[in-house]
Amino acid sequence: MSSDRRIHIIGPGGAGKTYAARALARRHDLPVCHLDDIFWQQPVGSPNNEPAPESARNDRLAAFAAGERWIIEGVYTAWVEVALSNATNIYFIDAPRWLRQCRVLRRAFTDSDPWRNTFEMLRYNHRWDADKRPKALKRLAPYAGKFERLTADELLRRDLAGP
């Protein structure tokens, strides 16, 4: 992996984005930005949480994406143009709905506040295949030269294998 690697990982909840981002970050000593931490004013799942003001969100993302080396991961595609443009690689991490749903349910039993977002995430994942995935892929079409669609395990296996 080159020293100027800027990786943007996109995909639905439970697909393995955070898992892949953390593994790559450890392996290559890259800073990670979780888009939920930028989008929401408080940590995800906090009561009465609201989206951050658009200008603050955009400024925070632009500052991180201006770096020479990073990983940005999240489900968002509508407001992340600066990250997509600056990325050297864009990975669309996907997994079958049944697996994503199982992972969301597993989180419910391992989080400190187990059911805080579980039902919203299950509904979101149910709609992802028919509605959200086609829109995300359309938004990523202009980046065809640096965009790949694969599973988190495929990405990590390939990274371990090297160039």
Is 140 in a helix, a strand, or coil? Answer: helix
Closest of 20, 30, 34 to residue 159, by C-alpha: 20
pLDDT in tens, the chain (163 residues): 455 699 999 999 999 999 999 999 999 999 999 999 999 887 766 666 788 999 999 999 999 999 999 999 999 999 999 999 999 999 999 999 999 999 988 888 876 555 667 888 889 888 999 999 999 999 999 999 999 999 999 999 999 887 6
What pTM value is reported for the model? 0.90
> Which of these CATH numbers, 3.40.50.9100, 3.30.300.10, 3.40.50.300, 3.20.20.120, describes 6-161?
3.40.50.300
The neighbouring-strand residues paired with 149 are 92
Specify the DSSP element, H or E, that contains 53: none
Other beta carbons within 10 Å of 59:
13
Closest listed residue to residue 81, CA positions, set 143, 13, 4, 37: 143
The first and second tokens of residue 139, run together, are: 């938004």
